[in-house]
Structure 1
Amino acid sequence: MKRVLILGAGTAGTMMANHLQRKLDKKDWAITIVDQYEKHYYQPGFLFIPFEIYSEKDVIKKISDFIPKGVEYIKSPIELIEAEKNQVLLSSGWVLPYDLLIIATGCEIVPEEVDGVMDGWRKDIFDFYTLEGALALRDKFRDWPGGRLVVHISEIPIKCPVAPLEFAFLSDWFFAEKRKIRNKVELIYVTPLDSAFTKQKCSDVLGHLFPQKNIQLINNFSIPRVDAKNKKLISVDGKEVDYELLVTVPVNMGSPLIERSGLGDELNFVPTHMHTLQSKKHENIFVIGDASDLPASKAGSVAHFQAEILTENILNYIADKPLTAHFDGHANCFIESGYDKAFLIDFNYELEPVEGTFPLPGIGPFSLLKETKVNHLGKLAFKAIYWNMLLRGIPIPTVPPEMKTRGKKLDGLYQP
């Protein structure tokens, strides 16, 4: 019997296990998934924890609850991918041969990549990209008296590129409505980009929120180090930004496993064909989610769309057919703006975020590039969709993996 081996039981790996268990011929193929952890985290929920909108119980479940029956789940750290031998070495010394490998090892924050960050880590420098960081920041926010709060991005790419924006907007709301000390909080947003977001149309729409919410935007700020003793961000050209409390998005990198195995680029992301999701180096290796070097957002919605495409291409590969399924870079993200409102953006490799309705043309119920309460409700509802549909590989009705243009505004005109 042949084996599909999936490395990583996060969002992408779990979805692929569910898709393939339904699609592969069980007489010919066995599926094994390997992960060193027992808990599955709803990572988009980490954003809400510092503001006490979500708690731990909202974002944690057992990995085993989502692995389908018939899929072998091995709980173990992974030591090495030996691609030339078609096998994976576990830390125990156990060797797992494979016929087809899916890399879904994700990415992780590496705060030590910026000099000085660890000197103030979890004291006056925090992250919200980990559960531990989000909980520590929640505790800090509860009795923080106010001061200069800097929200900072170290470099791109990062997981969920809209999350730092959301954090800044929610901070404005939280200190105004919950803590009642907004007049004592100076909010500053520091980014290496030349605008607020990676997509210019989105930046144009969101840009007015910064003066409206009294948030200072500092762009083109590339950071080699933090002076934690004097509480300063130092840019490559010598500019400084003072802070009293720093919420940073550290450098994001792929798993060290990828580096050990010689399969990644300088950030440990796996070079991947952008449309087929096949490794550029090994034809029987496929990559999904945050582990790839694709110019697509590292977000759960993207992994969801990729999973449907990758499943089709794996079936094509097994049948010795051309990999005709085409991932177009489709991303769909809600952007919390505070005060029970949110934006929604929809884009792909070729198209910037566009105006219109989603998912139904002319009906919605969600509005693209507009701030609405319905979009906020959609953001909150996504948690239930994630646990009950996305992880289980269940397609969302009316939301195909390819970006659709019907009912959306392109070149000044809404498409019929």
Structure 2
Amino acid sequence: MRRLLVLGGGTAGTMIVNKLRRRLPASEWEITVVDRDDDHRYQPGYLFLPFGTYSPDQVVRKRHAFIPDGVELVFGEIDRVDADSASVHLEDGRTLPYDYLVIATGTTPRPDQTPGMLGEQWRRSVFDFYSFEGASALAAALPAFDHGRLVVHITEMPIKCPVAPLEFAFLADSWLRDRGIRDRVELVYVTPLSGAFTQPIASQHLGDMLEERKILVESDFMVERVDNERKALVSYDEREVPFDLLVTIPLNMGADFVARSGLGDELNYVPVDKHTLQSTAHANVFAVGDASDIPASKAGSVAHFSVEIFVDNFLELIDGKPMTGAFDGHANCFVESGDGKGLLIDFNYDTQPLTGRYPLPVVGPMGLLKETRANHLGKLAFRWIYWNVLLPGRPLPLPALMSMAGKVVPADDAGGPRSAPPEEE
């Protein structure tokens, strides 16, 4: 009997066990998934909790309901991986051997890594929304905020769902206008980046949207500490950003057991081949989803598309064949912009977000880098798709690799913008 052990029953881990249980003979393969508890949380829904769009029961379901028959679900905290003996040790003393290991334990906000962030203002005037507890606490506090300085802040990249801070700023602007108090609130967006986003075309577009909404941008801001007494962010170059209400995205890090196991980088992400997701140190170890160090967005779409490539590659590997699939870093993200509208961005390792239509040329129906009602509805509809299609491992009619179909290539020296020619589609 061969053993596949998956650490993490989140998006990537759940998809993997659902897809592989159907394709690996039960008489030959034992599949086990490990997680700390039975609560599976729809993390994109955290953004909507503070504004009352979603209720807590809409973003939490029981993990075991999505684990297929024939897969053992083990609850426990992971102490370490012993890659030399091919075993995982749990904190309660249990040991789980494996032939192949998939690390899919994601990334976690770590406010403890920034001096002062967990001080006396934590969840009084300093909040996060990248955790269920933080988003719930902010939902309770936000209605009482009716004037002052609201600061949305990113500590450092990478973070999961890199557009979510922008979405929060846009939604906060809309929410304040709906309440008739936008003129009493100064909105500030603080980022370590030089612009609104990591990619030039999208950064320009999103930056223009911030300016249109009169959201001030404090760029290239590397936070050194949170001054609780003076209620201010302080950067390493001694710039200060005062706040009345701070919504911060703390440093994101991989799981601590990765560090204890000697498998991670300085942020506890597992170094892997960015195309196959195979560990650069151990041929029988993979890291999928947010747990790896691939230079792609730490987003649910990346987990989805990379799992599609991983599954076929894994089946080739265990048959003694070369892995022929190559993940291209494909990501697409809906970006809520307020007022019942949203944008969509679609990109990969080599191609930045472009304008156009998705997934089909001309007809779309989604507009790329364009605010539309359809994109907002697509974002809301994705919650149903997540629970009923994505997690169970059912096929979605979207290509795992990015397509240039429908995208408008930027102008070059020869002329103006153009659609991708057939050979690029």
Give the TM bin, normalised by the shorter chain. over 0.9
**What aligned pairs does 1:196-345 form with structure 2 within 5 A after superposition?**
196-345=196-345
| 1:173 equivalenced with 2:174 (yes/no) | yes
Residue type matched to 2:331 in 1? A
Residue 188 of structure 1 aligns with which residue?
Answer: 188
**CA–CA distance in 2 between the matches of 1:282 and 1:135?**
40
Residue 124 of structure 2 aligns with which residue?
Answer: 123
Residue 12 of structure 2 aligns with which residue?
Answer: 12
Residue type matched to 2:63 in 1? I
Q: How far did residue 248 of structure 1 move?
A: 0.3
Residue 404 of structure 1 aligns with which residue?
Answer: 403
Residue 28 of structure 2 aligns with which residue?
Answer: 28
Name stretches of at least 5 consecutive residues in structure 2 with no aligned partner.
411-416
Residue 151 of structure 2 aligns with which residue?
Answer: 150
**CA–CA distance in 1 between the matches of 2:361 and 2:395?**
19
Q: How far did residue 98 of structure 1 move?
A: 0.4
Deviations 1:327-361 (A, max 9, x none): 00000000000000000000000000011211122
| 1:384 equivalenced with 2:384 (yes/no) | yes
Deviations 1:245-279 (A, max 9, x none): 10000000000010111110000000010001100
Residue 413 of structure 2 aligns with which residue?
Answer: none
Q: How far did residue 313 of structure 1 move?
A: 1.0
Residue type matched to 2:136 in 1? L
Deviations 1:83-117 (A, max 9, x none): 11001111221111100000001110110111111
What secondary structure sits across from 1:50 in the alignment? helix
**CA–CA distance in 1 between the matches of 2:26 and 2:88?**
22
What secondary structure sits across from 1:207 in the alignment? helix
Residue 414 of structure 2 aligns with which residue?
Answer: none
**CA–CA distance in 1 between the matches of 2:211 and 2:360?**
33
Residue type matched to 2:310 in 1? L
| Native 8 Å contact 2:148 2:184 kept in 1 | yes
Residue 91 of structure 2 aligns with which residue?
Answer: 91
What secondary structure sits across from 1:336 in the alignment? strand
Residue 109 of structure 2 aligns with which residue?
Answer: 109
**What aligned pairs does 1:337-376 form with structure 2 within 5 A after superposition?**
337-376=337-376
| 1:394 equivalenced with 2:394 (yes/no) | yes
Residue 37 of structure 1 aligns with which residue?
Answer: 37
Given the alignment, which residue of 418, 422, 425 partners 1:413?
Answer: 418
What secondary structure sits across from 1:40 in the alignment? strand
| Native 8 Å contact 2:232 2:240 kept in 1 | yes
**CA–CA distance in 2 between the matches of 1:49 and 1:266?**
32
**CA–CA distance in 2 between the matches of 1:276 and 1:316?**
12
Residue type matched to 2:222 in 1? S
> TM-score by structure 2 length?
0.96
Residue 59 of structure 2 aligns with which residue?
Answer: 59
What secondary structure sits across from 1:123 in the alignment? coil
| 1:139 equivalenced with 2:140 (yes/no) | yes
Residue type matched to 2:215 in 1? I
Q: Which moved more, 1:139-148 or 1:282-291?
A: 139-148
| Native 8 Å contact 2:192 2:220 kept in 1 | yes
Q: How far did residue 25 of structure 1 move?
A: 2.1
Residue type matched to 2:419 in 1? Y
Residue type matched to 2:127 in 1? F
**CA–CA distance in 1 between the matches of 2:246 and 2:369?**
29
**CA–CA distance in 2 between the matches of 1:410 and 1:324?**
29
| Native 8 Å contact 2:108 2:253 kept in 1 | yes
- Aligned identity (percent) is 53
Deviations 1:292-312 (A, max 9, x none): 011100011110001110001
Deviations 1:20-77 (A, max 9, x none): 1111122211110011111100000000000000110110000001001111111111
| Native 8 Å contact 2:340 2:376 kept in 1 | yes
| Native 8 Å contact 2:359 2:406 kept in 1 | no
Q: How far did residue 230 of structure 1 move?
A: 0.3
| 1:74 equivalenced with 2:74 (yes/no) | yes
**CA–CA distance in 1 between the matches of 2:406 and 2:36?**
44
**CA–CA distance in 2 between the matches of 1:127 and 1:92?**
31
**CA–CA distance in 1 between the matches of 2:218 and 2:43?**
27
Residue type matched to 2:372 in 1? T
What secondary structure sits across from 2:5 in the alignment? strand
**CA–CA distance in 1 between the matches of 2:162 and 2:73?**
31
What secondary structure sits across from 1:214 in the alignment? coil
Q: Which moved more, 1:81-90 or 1:203-212?
A: 203-212
Residue type matched to 1:14 in 2? T
**CA–CA distance in 1 between the matches of 2:113 and 2:374?**
39
Residue type matched to 2:37 in 1? Y
**CA–CA distance in 2 between the matches of 1:410 and 1:393?**
33
Q: Which moved more, 1:154-163 or 1:26-35?
A: 26-35
Root-mean-square deviation over aligned CA pairs = 0.9
